[in-house]
Structure 1
Amino acid sequence: MRRAKQWITLTTLLLGTAGFAMAASPSYQKDIRPIFDNKCLACHGCYDAPCQLKMESADGLDRGASQIPVYNGGREESISPTRLGTDAQTTAQWREKGFYSVLDSAYGMRGSLLYKMLVLGHEHDFAANEKLPEKIQLGLSRENTCPNPEEFADYADDHPMEGMPLAVTGLTDQEFDTLQRWMRGGATIETETINLSGSEQQQIQHWEAMLNQQDDRSALVARWLYEHLYLAHLYFGEEEGQRPDHFFTLERSTTPPGEPIEPVKTVRPNDEPSHPFWYRLRPVAGTLVHKTHITFALNPDKLARTKKQFFSTDWKLESLPGYSYEERSNPFITFAAIPAEARYQFMLDNAEYFVRTFIRGPVCRGQIATDVIRDQFWAVFQDPEHDLFITDKEYQAKVSPLLGLPGKDADLLEAGSAWLKYSGERNDYLRARQAAYAKAEPAGPGWESIWAGEGHNQNALLTILRNHDNASVRKGLLGDYPLTTWVMDYPLFERTYYNLVVNFNVFGSVSHQAQTRLYFDLIRNGAEQNFLRYLPRELRKPVINHWYQDGGKIRLKISYASIDTQHPTAIPFTTSTPVNEFNAELITRFANLNARPDPINRCDSEHCARKQVEPWRQQADSGVSKLASRRMTNLPAIRLLPEVTMLRVENDTGEQEIYTLFRNRMHSNVAFMFNEDGRYQPELDTLTLYPGVLASYPNFMFNLKLSELDDFVARMNAVEDEEDFTQVVDDYGIRRTHPHFWDYFHALTLYMEQHEPTQAGVLDMNRYQNL
């Protein structure tokens, strides 16, 4: 249905009245950018922005769109990278790479693609808070059609209800009018001004001075640090502190400090630069999107600790390593001169950041990338003083050649032989590891071999939550006892990082992506084998057989090194459920390191609520806890919930509490790349919920008053079929067509700004479902 008011606006625009001509054109930074941030950025951000139209910054809008998708699991050859701010610097250069403008047109504003898409979107009103027509395809399965301006008429005929913003409550008349006036005035985009404070400039100088020392030892350390921080949004401040004025990225630049940054254009951070370079800190421009906002704090204490970690011992370096295929494939050989303890401790100090890089980074965008892991599990780390790679130089030299990683070669014909080589070496490594630890720890591993965060570092305990086609990680032990817990030592931690982050090419071929995914499967198995050493030897085989049911048992026999069933554990066990017993003791023993105690999912009393929050939040905790840690067999509503549901509860004064509800899917095993449905055990699905915005991709949202919470919980408990669930959605759900959809959606970001200011960013709604 067309709006009469909208027709008047368009007629006025087309006729070009004098009043309109005299109106001042809106400012991009002041008037236009807030509209794009509020109504467009939730879809158009990061590598998976539809048609590569990235709207985090003015540069992305100016670059325009492309018909070549970044994510393509079937391409036989790698494509040239199209990283904004790196692979081209001017509009003309982007046009040479096949990008076309969404603003400019030979026919003026009326011919621009953005204008046409906005008009098409503004022509339709969807019924308030009703389901969208099923023919509108949403989610990752959507095949984005990326018409250029000349192809738009065909697009509009084929997709009359798919203007922009796509399939959601759209622009207000005022927003639409503002955008029209801006485009009519030439769509001028002013450059964003970034003014750094004196303190920021001083800290930049200190970090760049450390990274650009000319001696060989400093150069090798700087290379290692760059390869581990290049994905970070760096900021000057304390962990979990106030929101900083600016974030920065660490770049290799062909220009020295004090000059404008010219990024080195290599595909990977460990590819060889063609010119001399310097390490530089570059301010992040534009608006932050949560899924790529992986933060890392820089401050004087961390600078001092980093220098001490890497330079306090008199280690020697005969010559700097190069960037050969072998050196890029095996960081343990490339950086062998740097004490392994320094490298591992730096990663432990910032473990949540590093796990985030490979859980939330570019590799984990689709189901094939994430179906190698369970939906909810915990991760702990081996103490450096009990890691033989750190303490035994002879062992380190023996196993380092076995720790190379596949995937650097993108040739499809070489994939099979490369995989056999690297998987074989990995299994040889596990056998050598078993033998070495059996000799070094004849009584088996004890609790002292689990890293205790030096008594204060909450990075020691992490929870990973896989949400079908993406994942998230948080400090603390969230949820009920998981089916598996990972124990990561340095070789495992570093290989995971290099496999999924440094060596991963999002623009790579199917061969590269498959090898990356398959090696990640070996990494998971390695973390499981590390964990099994802590269990009674007679129970290890039953436990791993439970993890690898059905076809997984075949995978155990043909793909993985055999587990150790001969050597004991130093931990006494008293039950026949050692995994739960281990996890229960983990919670008790390391309680002071647990960033998020969980009385909601692991309630052991009638008062299932956090202690250090206001009474009304405790009341909300207690109410939602009645849904927590339930199986689908006694809470059928779980089968109708998407992977990630946000629950917003508002008290009488307008304060809000946000809960993230995770649907944990259960599988007979997670050992294969395909056929997840064939391994799916829906009757065992569970629900984990916890306060906070704990995921980047909400799939749906419920909104209710505190006084309505008991009714909501009761009705969720009473759901038996889709009709029952739809009635709950009708009364409490925020569908894409809700008149206040954007207010509620951005309330999630507001919550992060209030509770975790350094982590806040615009969430992604590409996966928001049509319930």
Structure 2
Amino acid sequence: MKKPVQGRTYASVIFVVGILFLFSDNDRQAEQVKPRVITATQSYSFTQNIRPILDTKCLACHSCYDAPCQLKLESFQGLERGASKARVYDGGRLKDSPPTRLYIDAQTPEEWLKKGFYSVLSEYSDKADNTTPPLMQQMLDLGQNNPLTTNTRVPDTIELGFDRVNYCPAPGEFNDYVDKFPHGGMPLAVSGLDKQEYQTLSTWLKQGAKIDTPPVAISDTDQLMISRWEDWLNRRDKRSILLSRYLYEHLFLGHLYLNSADQSDGQNHPTTRFYQLIRSYTPAGEKPVIVPTVRPNDRPDNTPQQRFYYRLIPLPGTVVHKTHITYRFDSQRLEQYQKLFYSTDWQVDSLPGYGYEERSNPFITFAAIPAKLRYRFLLNDARFFVRNFIRGPVCRGQIATNVIRDQFWVMFESPDTELYSNNPEYQLSVNDYLGLPGEKSSLLDFGSQWFTYSDKRNSYLDMRQKAYQQAYPSGAVLQQIWDGDQTNDNAFLTVFRHHNSASVTSGWQGEIPLTAWVMGYPLLERTYYELVVNFDVFGSVSHQAQTRLYFDLIRNGSETNFLRFMPAASRQTIYSDWYQSSARIKAKITYHDLDTRTPSNIAFSSDKPKEELLRTLLERYPQLTGTDNINRCNDCKQRIPGSANENDTLALSNIAAKPAADLTAIKWLPEVTFVRINLDKTTTDSDSATADKQFKVFTLLRNRRHSSVAFLLGESLRYQEDLDTLTILSEPVGSYPNLILQLKQSQLDDFVSSFEAIDSDSAFDQFVERWGVGRMNPQFWQVFHSFTAYMEAIHPLEAGVYDMNRYGHW
């Protein structure tokens, strides 16, 4: 086992750097909000006329926690709440910030005003009783009166992108804002509102911005299913209480759907409604009152005796892709739960509380539920749980994502042989070492908390290594990797990092990756609790640093677990390729010793065992890993699926999976590029003229290579640009496109040739000018939203509005 004290210099550097971040200005102006005067005559309906404009022209930037100025427009509640100068994502705050979660932490505009928000719909008056229009109107006027030139590149002087500082003018500050940002009107630096849209919004604002809120329509079928779930989740025996708590803590981020619509049947399901699982102080039949704890496993109230209930409530507003993590919650799922969790006779002697110990160690909190059942629950829908921590609130920003590779494959230990879930004695011996840091977020607690939990993690790995050696003295075998029971496509996953965001897909996508993960139950559960349940997006720099640092240990543990399947003699060589240069020092100081002695019980025939093992699994389970003829194909042509002309071929495989040293164009590509290929001939049948029959979609993902991903900072120092590669996928992947390219089917060969010829900044600019869909293109929004329409046609349950906060200056 390592001596963790030697690694404390690393943690201290993170601490010092963290406190140097800038803070946002929370000064407020003296202007007073005027009550909205809603006129008797209303020219437009919010639901019918206003919301469609907001969804089309505004929502792509203003949604989720990273909405500029916290102005969230996916629902009318966010619009009425208004804007704030306070940042949700703040890497420099020294203490936890009070949460400002829509629907939870305040309910009315007046309550939000007390929390520092200001209206964008109301007029304001100054001390001299001068009236100014609503901030929303002023922003729209600025955009209309001082637009950028159509079909031109957005000037670099206009700050855009993920790192843009959001200037949030409060009432009385707008004139200063205009002087500083003459092109800062809305929508920002993109093809704006047409005259009719502008007139509609302006008239609506002038008439008092009335918001009609028709009641949420819940079908009889859904209501029946909701009642069944609420009855089942709120049973009062101890076993049911503990199980419901476990389920809630794993599903609280999910968008639950109560029907079994096939996601791949090509049919649109516009009426599918999604729900959220909440804790409510009120029972079924009464209006839900959300228990407003920061985390789902926080104590519901200062008085533990106060009862709460698990409830299902409709997901409000328009669905946006970046937060849309779907989970089936129908009658079949209820039957599966009943069959799984009651397959053995387990008992609960006493219920755990919600204190520090219970929150920081779920293995002790839920010990009464057999680990084998918990692991199977996670495996059955592993993609959902991995998406929770890869696409959830924790994975936002470069520091949040730069401890994972740009592309890697994930697999899981077989539930039949995974040691923790099959050996109760071993469970009891290691449970105390599986606690998670971050619950204590004070700066004063940072050092002691981190070193305590990293020490425990290394002690656990000592015990784990010995236990596996005793249980499997001949080494790992292929059967110890879960085969998805031959039918479950959650068994093999691909994670893509897109610099400051990430995504998860089913199957093994792209070329053979540099690294791969094997996750057993303790790894999977710890990752979920550390990055989802216990993560506070409003937490201090101490909490955020502890979370990121522990994720680094989890990644390392998943990688070294994969290395168990490699020949003992080859492990160090592979490991050294993953952890080059200064990372080798960290590997000796912080990580657990690599096991280079225990044999592998797999017969290898080549000198590249990593590639051999992954190819063996690809060939053994093609229906689960997927057949990738674009990225894992040499000099082959892939025909466009659904093409009207069977002789047309797709030449994209010629530019896939090549290093940037051989294909220099990769060096100019952003992380995520959506490509729309318009088919030359489309059907005239109105019933089948859907988006997927008019055009095809591909995604170009730039995979950046680094000498290691062992550090939170200094990523550019480890960048190996010549080793970058390109993955091409036949559907939209990623929530934040950086660039959109569009071409006709007949232009495909020309497109590929022009891409291969890129060798300079000017050549790439010419390429984008010819094929790119720029921000100021009059058709920008039509093309941008066509990718959502495409997903609605082929994977309707996964569709949502994409985010353009990371779109370039094109």
Query: Shorter chain as normaliser: what TM range?
Result: over 0.9
| 2:228 corresponds to 1:206 | yes
* Paired residue secondary structure (1:379): strand
| 2:104 corresponds to 1:104 | no
Amino acid at match of 2:153: K
Per the alignment, residue 184 of structure 2 pairs with 162
Q: Deviations over 1:563-608 (max 9, x none)?
A: 11111112111111111111111111111223x4211000156343
Per the alignment, residue 14 of structure 2 pairs with none
**How far off is 1:510 after superposition?**
0.2
Q: TM-score, normalised by structure 1?
A: 0.95
**How far off is 1:621 after superposition?**
6.4
* Paired residue secondary structure (2:490): helix
Q: Which residue among 208, 211, 234 is the counterpart of 2:256?
A: 234
**How far off is 1:128 after superposition?**
2.6
Partners of 1:326 and 1:575 in 2: CA distance:
48
Q: Which residue among 366, 369, 375 is the counterpart of 1:338?
A: 369
Q: Deviations over 1:29-50 (max 9, x none)?
A: 0000000000000000000000
- The farther-off stretch of 550-559 and 123-132 is 123-132
Q: Which residue among 336, 339, 343 is the counterpart of 1:308?
A: 339
Partners of 2:587 and 2:94 in 1: CA distance:
30
Q: Which residue among 77, 80, 87 is the counterpart of 2:98?
A: 80
Q: Deviations over 1:670-729 (max 9, x none)?
A: 000100000000010000011101110000010000111111110111111011111111
Per the alignment, residue 374 of structure 1 pairs with 405
Q: Which residue among 138, 149, 152 is the counterpart of 2:171?
A: 149
Per the alignment, residue 445 of structure 2 pairs with 414
Per the alignment, residue 19 of structure 2 pairs with none
Q: Which residue among 681, 703, 706 is the counterpart of 2:745?
A: 706
Amino acid at match of 1:191: T
Per the alignment, residue 600 of structure 2 pairs with 569
- The farther-off stretch of 338-347 and 668-677 is 338-347
* Paired residue secondary structure (1:661): strand
| 2:782 corresponds to 1:743 | yes
| 2:631 corresponds to 1:601 | yes
Amino acid at match of 1:57: S
- Aligned-pair identity in percent equals 50
Contact 2:392 2:532 in 1 (8 A): yes
Per the alignment, residue 686 of structure 1 pairs with 725
| 2:798 corresponds to 1:759 | yes
Per the alignment, residue 478 of structure 1 pairs with 509
**How far off is 1:245 after superposition?**
2.4
Per the alignment, residue 17 of structure 1 pairs with none
Partners of 2:589 and 2:228 in 1: CA distance:
52
Per the alignment, residue 725 of structure 1 pairs with 764
**How far off is 1:453 after superposition?**
1.1
Over 3 Å counting, the alpha-carbon distance change for 1:605 and 1:709 in structure 2 is: closer
Query: Equivalences for 1:466-505 in 2 at 5 Å?
Result: 466-505=497-536
Query: Equivalences for 1:125-136 in 2 at 5 Å?
Result: 125-136=147-158
Per the alignment, residue 397 of structure 1 pairs with 428
Partners of 2:132 and 2:53 in 1: CA distance:
20
Contact 2:636 2:654 in 1 (8 A): no
Contact 2:147 2:183 in 1 (8 A): no
Over 3 Å counting, the alpha-carbon distance change for 1:310 and 1:124 in structure 2 is: same
Per the alignment, residue 3 of structure 1 pairs with none
Partners of 1:341 and 1:719 in 2: CA distance:
53
**How far off is 1:59 after superposition?**
0.3
Per the alignment, residue 680 of structure 2 pairs with 652
Partners of 1:109 and 1:269 in 2: CA distance:
44
Contact 1:644 1:700 in 2 (8 A): yes
Query: Equivalences for 1:288-687 in 2 at 5 Å?
Result: 288-594=319-625, 596-604=626-634, 606-609=636-639, 613-615=641-643, 622-653=650-681, 655-687=694-726
**How far off is 1:638 after superposition?**
0.7
Over 3 Å counting, the alpha-carbon distance change for 1:618 and 1:209 in structure 2 is: farther
Amino acid at match of 1:508: G
**How far off is 1:371 after superposition?**
0.2
* Paired residue secondary structure (1:180): helix
**How far off is 1:616 after superposition?**
5.0
| 2:272 corresponds to 1:250 | no
Amino acid at match of 2:101: R
Partners of 2:104 and 2:597 in 1: CA distance:
53
Amino acid at match of 2:772: G
Amino acid at match of 1:753: E
What stretches of structure 1 of length at least 5 have no aligned partner?
1-20
Query: Equivalences for 1:105-120 in 2 at 5 Å?
Result: 105-106=123-124, 111-120=133-142
- The farther-off stretch of 69-78 and 103-112 is 103-112
Per the alignment, residue 45 of structure 2 pairs with 27
**How far off is 1:311 after superposition?**
1.7
Q: TM-score, normalised by structure 2?
A: 0.91
Partners of 1:566 and 1:133 in 2: CA distance:
58
Contact 2:637 2:651 in 1 (8 A): no
Contact 1:600 1:621 in 2 (8 A): no
Amino acid at match of 1:135: T
Contact 1:103 1:109 in 2 (8 A): no
Aligned residues: 748
The structure with the greater share of residues assigned to helix is 1
Partners of 1:606 and 1:363 in 2: CA distance:
39
Partners of 1:250 and 1:616 in 2: CA distance:
45
Partners of 1:357 and 1:749 in 2: CA distance:
21
Amino acid at match of 1:651: L
**How far off is 1:127 after superposition?**
2.5
Partners of 2:630 and 2:131 in 1: CA distance:
54
Q: Which residue among 72, 81, 87 is the counterpart of 1:63?
A: 81
Per the alignment, residue 224 of structure 1 pairs with 246
Amino acid at match of 1:544: Y
Over 3 Å counting, the alpha-carbon distance change for 1:660 and 1:585 in structure 2 is: same
Partners of 1:24 and 1:424 in 2: CA distance:
65
| 2:97 corresponds to 1:95 | no
Q: Deviations over 1:126-185 (max 9, x none)?
A: 223221111100112111000112111100110000110001010001100011111111
Over 3 Å counting, the alpha-carbon distance change for 1:683 and 1:316 in structure 2 is: same
Partners of 1:606 and 1:729 in 2: CA distance:
26
Partners of 1:179 and 1:694 in 2: CA distance:
33
* Paired residue secondary structure (2:517): strand
Q: Which residue among 201, 205, 215 is the counterpart of 2:237?
A: 215
Partners of 1:618 and 1:427 in 2: CA distance:
58
* Paired residue secondary structure (2:650): helix
Q: Which residue among 17, 38, 61 is the counterpart of 1:43?
A: 61
Amino acid at match of 2:55: D
Contact 1:620 1:649 in 2 (8 A): no
Partners of 2:476 and 2:397 in 1: CA distance:
37
Contact 2:413 2:482 in 1 (8 A): yes
* Paired residue secondary structure (1:386): coil
Partners of 1:653 and 1:33 in 2: CA distance:
34
Q: Deviations over 1:240-280 (max 9, x none)?
A: 26635210000000000111100001000000001310000
Amino acid at match of 2:573: P
